[in-house]
Amino acid sequence: MKKLTTWIVIAVILLIGVAAVFLLLHKNNSKNRQQQASTAKIEANQPKPVYATAGQLTPNFPTELLLGSKQSTQSSFSVSYPSATQSTAVFESTDSKITVYNDYLAYFQKNKYEILSQQANGQTFSIYAIKTGGDVSVQITQNGKLTKVTVSFLKK
């Protein structure tokens, strides 16, 4: 009788252990599903870029921001945020990196932009300029014989 009672106690302890493991696994799976659903909801609410046809610019991109001897537009896209739209164009120029950089500095000064930062050393030259209605970021790098230029315009 004592052996039977011992076996019953062991069986009950094992059943409680199995039930506890099952509940923990179920709770973790439920939490993972909730996190995945939350992540998917956040990603669904993120702005999505709209790409232009190859070689073309998005309609929102101001063409006057394409300076230098433009060789070819590599890509262009726009992203709409609740309070602003960012339009970006990437193109290659036959002008040197310093020539393109100086052209943008002159353009920003002539058109009354405030230049917040500028860098003309190292691998990448850059300028960040603002004016009522829009900010402009320019990144200029050497790409073999051509100069790669990335211009982003943030219309507020």
Find the mean pLDDT for residues 130-153: 94
Q: What percent of the chain has pLDDT over 90?
A: 56
Please name the helix (run of DSSP H) or strand (run of DSSP E) that holds residue 72, with its range, or none.
strand 70-80
Give the whole-angstrom CA distance, residue 126 versus residue 26: 52
The per-residue pLDDT for range 61-70, each reduced to its tens digit, is 999 999 977 7
Question: What's CA 133's distance to the chain center, in Å?
Answer: 22
The per-residue pLDDT for range 68-117, each reduced to its tens digit, is 777 788 999 999 998 999 999 999 999 999 999 999 999 999 999 999 99
Whether the CB-CB separation of 128 and 135 falls below 8 Å is answered with yes
Give the whole-angstrom CA distance, residue 46 versus residue 140: 28
Q: Provide φ and ψ at 72, rounded to 5°.
A: -165, 145
Please name the helix (run of DSSP H) or strand (run of DSSP E) that holds residue 135, with its range, or none.
strand 134-143
Q: What's the mean pLDDT when you consider all of the chain?
A: 84
